[in-house]
Structure 1
Amino acid sequence: MNQTQINEQTIVCSDHITLAATLFRPSNELKGAVLIGPATGIKRQFYASFASYLCDNGYGVLTFENLGIGESNQGLLTDNTVTLQSWGEKDLTAAFEHLKAQFPDAKYHLVGHSAGGQLIGLMPNAHQLSSVFNFACSSGCLANMSLINKFKAHFFMNFFIPLNNLLFGHTKSQLVGMGEPLPKQVARQWRHWCNGSGYVKMAFGRTVHQHWYDELAMPSMWVNAVDDYIAINENVADMISVFSQMPAQTLTLDPKDHDLSEIGHMKFFSRQSQKLWPLATDWLSKHA
């Protein structure tokens, strides 16, 4: 079993903005290198146990925080003009370049959680990925949700976000258990994309004038859970449809089948769900 070496890192983006990151380096033979794309408003520490597991299995891993989140919060949230789109175009792109510099000549993979998998078509270097493993990655389309969940989602997206942005200049997502406080434009764009279909496709020809969603053709695995009201099967399919050339396999987990009380939108990466983690390493080993 490999011994994990953990080092704090600084990622430098194309506009010289810096992001906080953590590098997990195996001491023995390197099987490949993995970038963990975080969900909206989630700090990198959330993925530490999962990253250590991947590293113990021979993979170099980079976790990071998008601009405006956690230790990547540059100044006051109210002064931050970062968008979801820039998280893909700048943050994910720079994080991948940093991973490649740390592990040259490796095969590269992305493990995307929610937004971390949705935004990869905005990365000009995404074609260098050998495979993608996504969890809870979907369009989040409100119209596809069940009635009660549609009500909850509409409350958050169409009442809570606009009210918070008006009152505070950012969205206090932590008050409703939705991760860290969000920069105003991130929350606004998130709201707009989830109110339509195809998520980022809502911005094609508007704010997104160049993308690679219709070019990426690496193998991908899309995993969701039956107790996730956001990444339901219809919304996973909606997101996959945006990647028109990407071969996609899907898997829907039921926590009862794995003696778990819940998986939902977040718990795949928790230590309590580590019995699910071989799904990721099995996938990576097939594409190493």
Structure 2
Amino acid sequence: MNSFENLNITCTDGYQLSARFYKATVATQNLPILICPATGIVKGFYHAFAEWLNTQGYDVLSFDFRGIGDSLHGALKDSQASIQDWGQLDIPAAIETLIQKTAHEKVILLGHSAGGQLLGITPNFEKVAKVVAVSGSTGHVKGLKGHTKRMAPVMFNLIFPISSLIKGYGATKMLGMGENLPKNVAKQWAHFCSKPGYVLNAIGKTVFDDFHKDITSPMTVFWSSDDEIATQANVKDLIRLYPNSATKMHELIPSEHGHKAIGHMLMFKKSHQNIWPVIAHELKI
């Protein structure tokens, strides 16, 4: 028996997203949690974490962004999904669905990487009471570290354009970076990370509604000292975009939690579940 209910979310443009709703196993008055995934990462990746949040008294909704996982309809090469669609259409619809499902007025947004970077272009941002961004940053190429810093220009300037031209999509699976991406997602990812500010690089070009300065919900960003993407510099670049929000940075150091590595992804693994209470502490309103 599944610990979750499968749902379809209908966006304002009619696009259908695949989602999972996890009902809390303990009755509380906690606000529900919306898990917004990282680029190319499917909702099932967060399954164990969502189940654990249920035991802490939280209703949880996770979903696949359009063009990813079960929210890809048809061939990937035909998908017109973009990152701005995720922020302007997908996240808003997921917020409304979770509110309707739980009869709460607001939600807590727990965003992983890109999932925590898009609230500034989300029109119903006022229905988010708090943001907890895990591995949240702008991903600016000059702020990257290690192997990722060396590979990013190759991926953005060579692999994405060539694979988009030949295959019709951004090839990331072969790099071990999640699902292959719709071509527009790959193109925008490269563009957003080329300069500081991430999605701010699209304001006035393809994105014309900017809510960053209107957002007052508190925001906590978790990042790991061994994360090559969400580095300290890139985390600071993200939180500066929300000048009227009370922001906090929380560094995770692997050795302090008994791990050799945490990086950009491992904090959601069962092997690292001793970190989950640290994250959950920041979910409290």
TM-score bucket of the superposed structures, by smaller chain: over 0.9
Range moving further from structure 2, 145-154 or 68-77: 145-154
Structure 2 unaligned regions, length at least 5 = none
How far the C-alpha of 1:282 sits from its partner, in A, is 1.3
Superposition pairs for residues 176-255 of structure 1, below 5 Å?
176-255=175-254
Tell me if the contact between 1:33 and 1:106 (Cα under 8 Å) persists in the aligned partners.
no
Question: Which amino acid is 1:152 matched to?
Answer: M
1:78 aligned onto 2:74: no
Question: Which amino acid is 1:56 matched to?
Answer: T
Distance in 2 (alpha carbons) for counterparts of 1:34 and 1:89: 19
How far the C-alpha of 1:62 sits from its partner, in A, is 0.2
TM-score, reference length from structure 1: 0.95
Tell me if the contact between 1:34 and 1:61 (Cα under 8 Å) persists in the aligned partners.
yes
**Secondary structure at the counterpart of residue 227 of structure 1:** coil
Q: Which residue of 1 is the match for residue 21 of structure 2?
A: 23
TM-score, reference length from structure 2: 0.96
1:143-178: CA deviation from partner (whole Å, max 9, x where unpaired): 123475422111111111111111101012110011
Tell me if the contact between 1:20 and 1:64 (Cα under 8 Å) persists in the aligned partners.
yes
Q: Which residue of 2 is the match for residue 9 of structure 1?
A: 7
Tell me if the contact between 2:65 and 2:90 (Cα under 8 Å) persists in the aligned partners.
yes
**Secondary structure at the counterpart of residue 209 of structure 1:** coil
Tell me if the contact between 2:116 and 2:133 (Cα under 8 Å) persists in the aligned partners.
yes
Question: Which amino acid is 2:259 matched to?
Answer: L
Q: Which residue of 1 is the match for residue 61 of structure 2?
A: 62
How far the C-alpha of 1:107 sits from its partner, in A, is 4.5
Distance in 1 (alpha carbons) for counterparts of 2:252 and 2:39: 22
Question: Which amino acid is 1:85 matched to?
Answer: Q
Cα root mean square deviation, aligned: 1.4
Structure 1 unaligned regions, length at least 5 = none
Distance in 1 (alpha carbons) for counterparts of 2:53 and 2:281: 11
How far the C-alpha of 1:179 sits from its partner, in A, is 0.4
**Secondary structure at the counterpart of residue 66 of structure 1:** coil
Aligned residues: 283
Question: Which amino acid is 1:42 matched to?
Answer: I
Distance in 1 (alpha carbons) for counterparts of 2:37 and 2:148: 23
Percentage of pairs with the same residue: 35
Q: Which residue of 1 is the match for residue 262 of structure 2?
A: 263
Superposition pairs for residues 134-149 of structure 1, below 5 Å?
134-146=133-145, 149=148
How far the C-alpha of 1:75 sits from its partner, in A, is 1.0
Tell me if the contact between 2:95 and 2:127 (Cα under 8 Å) persists in the aligned partners.
no
How far the C-alpha of 1:261 sits from its partner, in A, is 2.0
